[in-house]
A = this chain, B = another copy of it.
């Protein structure tokens, strides 16, 4: 695929054509913070949101619940400046390496959405434990 594309003249949409979308036109996206290397969130993108991400330089997802473009940080100010976009072997998952403005990616006011860790406890059991503190009250983030 890429060998063929590499010799073609630049086409504004060719990079979008190379992505494999699901039946809803979506592709899973992983956001990783470039400074900490932490995986901070997961969300879906569609063709339009990918185009907007490239155009603006800010991560723009597709909100499945609101059924509209979700310009991450549009309310909170916690935008994600995109430093690198990567595509996986099957072309159906994208990785956004971003600079998380404000240091808060999660709507709960935490650094990242993955704030629960599976930990062992007595008798061989396990449970989810919240390891990351709330850095900012969500009430004050979303006015």
Contact = CB atoms under 8 A, between A and B. Distances in A.
What is the copy number of this chain in the assembly?
2
A69 interface: no
Interface in A74-122: 84-90, 93, 95, 106-108, 110, 113-118, 121-122
Main secondary structure of the interface of A (DSSP, over half): mixed
B41 A88 contact: yes
A43 to B, nearest CB: 9
A131 B80 CA distance: 23
A121 B10 CA distance: 8
Interface of A: 2, 5-6, 9-12, 14-15, 18, 28, 30, 32, 37, 39, 41-42, 54, 84-90, 93, 95, 106-108, 110, 113-118, 121-130
A125 to B, nearest CB: 3
